[in-house]
Each structure stands twice: as C-alpha cells, then as structure tokens.
Amino acid sequence: MLDYLKKSLLTGVGLALRSKKEIEELAKEFSENSKMDQEEAKEFLKECQQKYEDAKTDLDHKIETAIEKILTRLDLPSKADIKKLSDRIDQLTKQLSDQK
C-alpha cells in the first residue's frame, strides 16, 4: 500500500500542476503518517522534489510543442521570418538611398 500511495503522489501531470512547496508538504505529511524513519523521509522528499522537477520540465516541453503545432497550423510568420523581412527592407532602403 505504501508503494501505491508513493506512486500516486509521484504521478507526472498531477505532480507538475502542484507547487513545489505543496509537494514538499505532502511528502512530509506522507512520511509522518507512514511512520518512515528520518533517513527514509529525507530520501522520499528528495525523490519527490526530483520527480516534481522532471514532471514540470516534461509538462513545459509538451506545452511548447503544442503551441508550436498551433502556430504552424495557423501559418503565422515566426520571429526569424519577421527578422529576415526587416533586414531585407533595411537593405533595400539603403540601396535606394545610395542610388539618389
């Protein structure tokens, strides 16, 4: 049962949607209620913090990927595309100025 509760607490999306402080409090409460010794509790807290960071990074990556797909479907110009056009306009403007 302890492993089941541990795994439930460490699930990816649920973990990523909670704040770091909230995860630490849940881990401390869980370790107290499960009667872990101090070393087990420290290890569990460290594991929770690492899983939180991993889940947050994974969620951030998934969000970025989804946004990129949406922007691609909308066929909006990227920042790089706009920069190229701006540079090209500057270049043409300079050439016109030099011809006068």
Residue 6's pLDDT band, with cuts at 50, 70 and 90, is: low
Secondary structure, 3-state, 26-41: HHHHHHHHCCCCHHHH
H or E element in which residue 93 lies: helix 79-99
Could you list the residue range(s) of the whole structural domain that residue 41 is in?
2-99
Nearest to 45 by CA among 32, 30, 29, 27: 27
Instruction: For residue 83, give the DSSP letter.
Output: H
* Torsional sign, CA 63, 64, 69, 74: positive
Residue 2 has pLDDT above 60, yes or no: no
- Count structural domains, the chain: 1
Express each pLDDT in 44-75 by its tens digit. Answer: 778 877 877 887 888 888 888 888 888 788 88
**In terms of pTM, does the model score above 0.75?**
no
pLDDT confidence band for 1 (50 / 70 / 90): very low
